[in-house]
Amino acid sequence: MTTVVTSGVFSSTSPAISPVNGVGTDYIQWGSPGSQSGYQFRGEAADVQLDGTEFVVGTFVHRNKPTNVSPSQFDVQLTVNVMFEDGSTTDLDFSFHHHETPNSTGTSPADDDLVDLQTFIHPRPVTIDGKQYRAVLSGFKRNGQIVRRFRSPEGGINFADVVCMFTLEEPDVIISGLRYQGTGAGQADEYVEILNRGGGPQDLTGWKVEAKPTGHSFPFPPGTVVQPGQRYRVYTNESHPEYGGFSFGSAGEVWRDKGGIARLVADDGFVVDQSPYLDKGFGNTGTP
């Protein structure tokens, strides 16, 4: 583990936008004078595990006012300076894609500006204590959820933690979440979530998610690849494209409310990760 202190500046936009000010600072603004929108980045002090464990690298702030800018969609480059305990520093480069939506309906979410993470992996390895790591952004953390699209309601000051991790070059796929109690009779909104916390992509062809003891199994479609920092969810009976659009397609519950085990199994049968919960399924007849 190491402790880091971060700061950041917005270095440029692509394409260049007009009007704009604050380039090269931690607060970039655009639009009509007196009604400017903009991004602010607030650094953090954080204890960092060098094993793909996520940490908050900073706070992203969007001050969203009704304004006009040309063009209405553009990328904003952020450079995060990371200072380590020994005084050494490194710069991490990422970009955000901004969509300044029309301010016409006066209602949310139609008027929400949209911010998407464009760059998830810093393009160059980072050397820490003589070893090389990849810096990967997981996304925006809001209300306990990590997402890659930030919806910013009009007329507000909207916040999100920016979540990052230092990881080795190879892929490292884990079960990162399990919602085993859904709503409604069929609990269609239950899901299991996997995360690639490694620095390389993982082909999931032949991989599957298993639910014990209910016996449900979901094989990932051939050619499915999970990128560094990317999350996929397999829902019981819903489709969410932002998480891959995967579903068991089950009219009944997949995850037994009183307990069970979620397993991620590779194409050779190796159990890559498993996540027991509550009574782990042993309190029911049959084996988990």
Sketch the domain layout of the chain as residue ranges.
2-167, 173-278
Amino acid identity, position 121: I
Give φ, ψ of 51 to 5 degrees: -135, 20
Query: How many Å apart are CA 238 and CA 257, to the nearest integer?
Result: 18
Distance CA 24, CA 12 (A): 7
| Non-local CB neighbours of 98 within 8 Å, separated by 6+ positions | 39, 73, 74, 75, 76, 113, 114, 115
pLDDT value, residue 66: 84
The CATH fold of domain 173-278: Immunoglobulin-like (2.60.40)
pTM attached to this predicted model: 0.78
Q: Supply the pLDDT for residue 110.
A: 65
- What is the per-residue pLDDT for 165? 92
One pLDDT digit (tens) per residue for the chain, 288 residues? 889 999 999 999 999 999 999 999 999 999 888 889 999 999 999 999 988 899 999 999 999 988 888 999 999 999 999 999 888 899 999 999 999 887 665 666 667 899 998 777 888 888 888 888 999 988 999 888 888 889 998 888 999 999 999 998 899 999 999 999 999 888 999 999 999 999 889 999 999 999 999 999 999 999 999 999 899 999 999 999 999 999 999 999 999 999 999 999 999 999 999 999 987 766 654 444
**Beta strands at 246-247 and 231-235: parallel, antiparallel or unpaired:** parallel
What is the predicted pLDDT for the residue at 287?
46
Question: Do 54 and 36 contact (CB within 8 A), yes or no?
Answer: no
- Note the pLDDT of residue 67: 87
- Residue 286: the pLDDT is 45
- Distances in whole angstroms, Cα of residue 262 to Cα of each of 92, 116, 203, 233: 35, 30, 20, 12
Cα 216 to Cα 187: distance, rounded to the nearest angstrom = 14
Closest CA to 234 of 178, 193, 176: 193
CA distances from 108 to 32, 72, 104, 111, 129 (A): 22, 18, 11, 5, 47
Spatial contact of 69 and 17, defined as CB atoms under 8 Å apart? yes
What does the DSSP assignment read for 135-159?
Answer: EEEEEEEETTEEESEEEE-TTSEEE
Q: Which has the closest alpha carbon to 3: 96, 128, 173, 117?
A: 128
- Measured CA angle at 167 (ends 166, 170), to 5 deg: 160
Residue 60 pLDDT: 96
